[in-house]
Amino acid sequence: SNKNLNAVVVLSNNGKLSVYGLKSRFGIIFDHFGFKPVDEVAVSTHGSKINFEYLLEKNPDYIFVVDRSAVNGGDVSANKAFDNDIIKATKAYKDGNIIFLDAETWYTATGGIKTTQKMADEVKAGLK
């Protein structure tokens, strides 16, 4: 179980970030995969706008990133956006625990059994 590990789920949209909490569209990370949310406050369904400093300040064990630019054609990929000195100072980065989730699966096609299985597989692969 991941009960002692905390995590944050971030939607990266052309370099702008939103964090998602327990009752959000990405709540499965907490409800089913057992991570503790790094921030109890971020429960907005639509996500709360954050910056990279927020991620360093909260310093979670895991950062899960959904790249919205990958599905709506933004210029700044999440990989590019997360390649910065602030992120490199986080525990998640140093431990190799920044996990880029497949945007098609996580953002576009949620809810089906196949999709949920794919989500579980991605999270599991990230934990290795």
pLDDT given at position 45: 67
69 backbone dihedrals φ, ψ, rounded to 5°: -60, -30
- What is the per-residue pLDDT across 19-77, written as a single tens digit (0 to 9) for each? 988 888 888 898 888 899 987 765 566 788 999 999 999 999 999 999 988 888 778 88
Residue 106 included in any domain: yes
Residue 115 falls inside a structural domain? no
116 is a domain residue = no
Confirm if 19 and 47 have CB atoms less than 8 A apart: yes
The pTM (predicted TM-score) of the whole model is: 0.87
Q: Identify whether 118 is part of a domain.
A: no
In a domain, 119, yes or no: no
Print the domain residue range for 27. Answer: 6-110
User: CATH number for the domain including 15?
Assistant: 3.40.50.1980
Is residue 28 one of the residues assigned to a domain? Answer: yes
Q: Quote the CA–CA distance of 104 and 109 in Å, as a whole number.
A: 6
Answer whether residue 120 is part of any domain: no
Residue 127 in domain: no
